[in-house]
């Protein structure tokens, strides 16, 4: 046997142990994993921002129906003076200041349609936030259960490797005493190498899964998440509901139809008259009128009069569209086509989501049956391994039968681990497809 490869393997194992100890262990339950993932997700933070923007849009649309008050101030210096029938109007430093109140009385339904669309937009943003939250939870659950599965496979392979080491020691002793042949020892040695190779692959996969989970929950690589929810006690799924009413995608499509209806009202408003009320008050000053006044006896004296006063105004304006070459009617027809497209999207995607839910239900049911089948296969493999060990110890079975029994046990254990973790992932996907993942 070569000594250098053994030292290399021991050195790599020692470095791996030291690196693991250098990392800070982070015990993590599934609930804590979800909470951390939600707090860290940039996509969910962006969805929160979009929801706040939609709420502001609704408030802005509501403010369109309220009166608006505006103030103005103007200063002017006019040169030269203006001649007014022998008098001079001097506006050097003239100023004006005023307030104007504008109240829309009727806008053809445009303001109410905009308010309804803004309210629908807020609801859509809320559903987008729910959908993003579900996507984050699905990603967190997948990363968590995948790490659990790979860690369990690592433990299983370590146990398998220990069994093969024990068997190798027994065969080596038997070979030295002449009770075993060289071929048996070489066969076990080859099997040990294969198991160590699989174990190293599983450990590398566990490290990658751990890095993926660190990314999802937003922790640094110097921390080592250790899942604590590793016990699998699945119960029969029972009767699973296929309702879509809580699905955020369905609600968003329904809201798109509602927006299309309001867009028709908005386009039709351009064909209707509009009316508005304006109230204003303006104060002006420093307007001077210069002239010569007859003082009697043929004498004229200069006279200056300054104007300072305020003016009030009340005005009602009505605008009636008469002819625009049919542009408004074409806009209404276009909005109706957009509404039809939204309705068709709703019908098509409702069917697709129904199929998705049915597939999710089937996956959950099949996943539970796979657990039952894999559990039965594992019990049979364990019994077969026990019998083969006893037979091999009693010299009633060859080594190949024992190795085959151990390989069958390894495969059965691996199948059960995959079935159990996949069932958890199927459960999460079913809850997401029905909009019940919270």
How far is Cα 205 from Cα 418, in angstroms, rounded to an integer?
14
> Could you tell me if residue 359 is inside a domain?
yes
Nearest 10 degrees: Cα torsion 47, 53, 56, 62? -90
pLDDT value of position 6: 45
How far is Cα 267 from Cα 337, in angstroms, rounded to an integer?
12
> Could you tell me if residue 164 is inside a domain?
yes
> Could you tell me if residue 234 is inside a domain?
yes
> Could you tell me if residue 252 is inside a domain?
yes
How far is Cα 270 from Cα 89, in angstroms, rounded to an integer?
46
As a whole-number percent, the residues of the chain with pLDDT over 70 amount to 94
Strand blocks (E) in 212-270: 223-227
87-90 and 68-77: which strand pairing?
Answer: unpaired
> Could you tell me if residue 318 is inside a domain?
yes
> Could you tell me if residue 239 is inside a domain?
yes
Q: What is the pLDDT of residues 47-102, one digit of tens each?
A: 999 999 999 999 999 998 899 999 999 999 988 888 887 788 888 889 999 999 99
CA–CA–CA angle 16, 17, 22 (5° rounding): 95
> What Cα–Cα distance (Å) separates residue 42 from each residue in 32, 51, 54, 209?
18, 14, 18, 21
pLDDT value of position 427: 94
How far is Cα 195 from Cα 411, in angstroms, rounded to an integer?
12
Is residue 402 within a helix (H) or strand (E), and if so which, with residue range? helix 399-433
Provide mean pLDDT across the span 405-427. 94
Tell me the backbone φ, ψ of residue 41, rounded to 5 degrees: -60, 120
Q: Is the pLDDT of residue 323 over 60?
A: yes
Q: What is the pLDDT of residues 182-236, one digit of tens each?
A: 888 888 889 989 999 999 999 999 999 999 999 999 998 888 999 998 877 777 8
Q: Is the pLDDT of residue 31 over 50?
A: yes
pLDDT value of position 236: 82
What is the number of domains present in the chain?
1
How many other C-beta atoms can be found within 10 angstroms of the C-beta atom of residue 158?
14
pLDDT value of position 179: 75
Q: What is the largest CA-CA distance in the chain?
A: 159
**Mean pLDDT across the chain, nearest whole number?**
89
Question: Residue 336: which domain range?
Answer: 25-77+95-291+302-433
> Could you tell me if residue 237 is inside a domain?
yes
Q: Is the pLDDT of residue 19 over 70?
A: no
How far is Cα 196 from Cα 188, in angstroms, rounded to an integer?
12
pLDDT value of position 42: 94
CB 95 within 8 A of CB 74: yes
Q: State the CATH number of the domain containing residue 33.
A: 1.20.1600.10
Q: Is the pLDDT of residue 395 over 60?
A: yes
pLDDT value of position 23: 67
> Could you tell me if residue 18 is inside a domain?
no
């Amino acid at each position: 046997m070569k000594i250098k490869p053994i030292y290399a393997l021991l050195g790599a194992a020692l470095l791996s142990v030291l690196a693991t100890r250098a990392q800070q262990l982070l015990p993590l339950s599934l609930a804590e994993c979800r909470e951390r993932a939600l707090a860290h997700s940039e996509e969910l933070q962006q969805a929160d921002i979009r929801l706040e923007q939609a709420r502001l849009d609704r408030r802005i649309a509501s403010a369109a129906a309220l009166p608006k008050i505006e103030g103005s101030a103007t200063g002017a210096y006019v040169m030269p003076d203006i001649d007014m029938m022998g008098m001079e109007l001097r506006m050097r430093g003239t100023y004006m200041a005023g307030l104007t109140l504008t109240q829309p009385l009727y806008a053809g339904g445009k303001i109410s349609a905009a308010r309804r669309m803004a309210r629908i937009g807020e609801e859509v943003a809320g559903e987008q936030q729910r959908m993003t939250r579900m996507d984050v939870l699905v990603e967190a659950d997948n990363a968590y259960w995948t790490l659990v599965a790979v860690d369990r496979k690592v433990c299983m392979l370590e146990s398998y490797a220990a069994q093969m080491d024990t068997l190798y020691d027994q065969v080596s002793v038997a070979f030295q005493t002449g009770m075993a042949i060289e071929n048996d020892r070489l066969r076990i040695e080859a099997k040990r190498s294969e198991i160590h190779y699989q174990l190293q692959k599983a450990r590398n996969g566990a490290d990658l899964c751990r890095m993926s989970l660190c990314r999802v929950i937003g922790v640094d690589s110097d921390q080592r998440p250790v899942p604590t929810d590793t016990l699998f006690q699945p119960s029969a799924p029972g009767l699973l509901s296929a309702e879509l009413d809580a699905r955020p995608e369905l609600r968003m499509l329904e809201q798109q139809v509602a927006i299309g209806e309001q867009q028709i009202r908005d386009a039709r408003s351009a064909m209707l008259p509009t009316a508005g009320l304006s109230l204003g008050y303006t104060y002006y000053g420093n307007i001077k009128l210069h002239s010569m006044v007859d003082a009697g006896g043929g004498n004229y004296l200069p006279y200056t009069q300054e104007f300072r006063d305020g003016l009030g105004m009340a005005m009602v304006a009505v605008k009636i569209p008469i002819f625009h070459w049919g542009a408004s009617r074409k806009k209404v027809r276009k909005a109706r086509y957009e509404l039809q497209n939204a309705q068709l999207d709703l019908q098509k995607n409702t069917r697709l989501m129904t199929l998705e839910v049915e597939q999710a239900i089937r996956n959950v049911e099949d996943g539970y049956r796979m657990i039952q089948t894999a559990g039965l296969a594992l019990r049979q493999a364990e019994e077969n391994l026990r019998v083969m060990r006893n037979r091999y110890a009693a010299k009633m079975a060859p080594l190949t039968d024992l190795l085959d029994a151990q390989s069958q046990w390894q495969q059965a254990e691996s199948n059960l681990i995959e079935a159990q973790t996949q069932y958890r992932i199927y459960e999460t996907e079913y809850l997401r497809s029905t909009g019940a993942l919270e």
